[in-house]
Amino acid sequence: MTGQRIATRAAACAAVALLVVTGGTVAQADDDIESLPAEQIADRSRDALLDVGSLHLRARGDLGKNRSPMTVDLSLDRSGNCAGGVDLGEGKGEVEIIKRGDSVWVKPDADFWENQVPVGGSTFESVLAGRYLKGSASDSRLRPVVDACDLDTFQKLVSDNADSNAGTFTKGKVTTVDGVRAVPVTRTLHGQKLTAYVDTAGEHRPVRITVRGDGADAVVDFSGFDEPVPTATPPAEDTVDVSAVLGRGPAQS
């Protein structure tokens, strides 16, 4: 399903932005983070993000390389629970996503069916009639959505790419991001400037990352650290089984 792949790519932009702004491992100094070199601040923010059990992320904009601007708004945790959605931008469609335990619900809007599934989309929309498409997390047809909902996926991307010291790091003046006092650290790499705004208090987590240059113009905001993912799920009367729309006999992973 085209939209599932789009949802995965969109959600992944937050992890991509983070892994390219952080560098290699550097020994931690004292807790006066504002006095540390830029590379060490970036490292500490990365390590702090790897330690969280849940978070809320909102990614919006264009990462360049002919990627369409879009918005991802998700709460997710290490258990694979998530709630939120993806807006593909410019009237291309929106998809609401909910995952709780082994169950997954997706709810594309009319614009999504028209633009992303031009062949048969109107039929799918008619079958759903405003209801959620529901399936099992083990169904391979929903695997991209399941992967996008798992915080471990993001954290593994960050961890696996933590060895690079490429680029130039600079530290900016302390500023405020959504009421949080933060120190900006910019990494210039491959014609792009990637800036992480790191909370000067607490665990020194990144509260915002911006990506500018080389065709990219994107912002990723992080909040709700270690807060529970919303537990509400659609009632049975508002759902349609995935096999009723995409065919019988779901493939199991």
* 3-state secondary structure string across the chain: CHHHHHHHHHHHHHHHHHHHHCCCCCCCCCCCHHHCCHHHHHHHHHHHHHCCCEEEEEEEEECCCCCCCEEEEEEEECCCCEEEEEECCCCCCEEEEEEECCEEEEEECHHHHHHHCCCCHHHHHHHHCCCEEEEECCEHHHHHHHHHHEHHHHHHHHHHCCCCCCCEEEECCCEEECCEEEEEEEEEECCEEEEEEEECCCCCCEEEEEEEECCEEEEEEEECCCCCCCCCCCCHHHEEEHHHHHCCCCCEC
pLDDT at residue 245, as a whole number: 76
Please tell me which residue, 161 or 141, carries the higher pLDDT value: 141
Please report, rounded to a whole number, the percentage of residues in the chain having pLDDT higher than 90: 40
161 confidence band (pLDDT: 50, 70, 90) = low
Over residues 70-98, the mean pLDDT reads 90
13, 218 contact by CB (below 8 A): yes
* Span of 114-123, 172-181, 185-194 with lowest mean pLDDT: 114-123
Contacts of 116 (CB under 8 A, 6+ apart): 2, 3, 6, 88, 92, 93, 108
How far apart are the C-alpha atoms of 218 and 92, rounded to whole Å? 18
57, 221 contact by CB (below 8 A): yes
Over residues 185-193, the mean pLDDT reads 86
pLDDT at residue 230, as a whole number: 95
**Is pLDDT at 71 greater than 60 in this prediction?**
yes
Residue with tokens 């929903």: 142
pLDDT at residue 176, as a whole number: 97
pLDDT at residue 18, as a whole number: 47
- For residue range 111-128, list pLDDT tens digits in order: 888 888 877 788 888 888
**Is pLDDT at 30 greater than 60 in this prediction?**
no
The mean predicted confidence, pLDDT, of the chain is: 81
pLDDT at residue 216, as a whole number: 81
Please report, rounded to a whole number, the percentage of residues in the chain having pLDDT higher than 70: 79
Going along the chain from its start, the domains and CATH numbers come out as 2-246 (2.50.20.20)
For residue 144, what are the β-bridge partners?
none
Buried b (16+ CB within 10 A) or exposed e, 241-251: ebeebbeeebe
**Is pLDDT at 248 greater than 50 in this prediction?**
no
pLDDT at residue 160, as a whole number: 60
How far apart are the C-alpha atoms of 236 and 201, rounded to whole Å? 44
* Burial classification of residue 232, based on how many CB atoms lie within 10 Å of its CB (0-12 exposed, 13-18 middle, 19 or more buried): exposed
* Burial classification of residue 96, based on how many CB atoms lie within 10 Å of its CB (0-12 exposed, 13-18 middle, 19 or more buried): middle
pLDDT at residue 24, as a whole number: 46
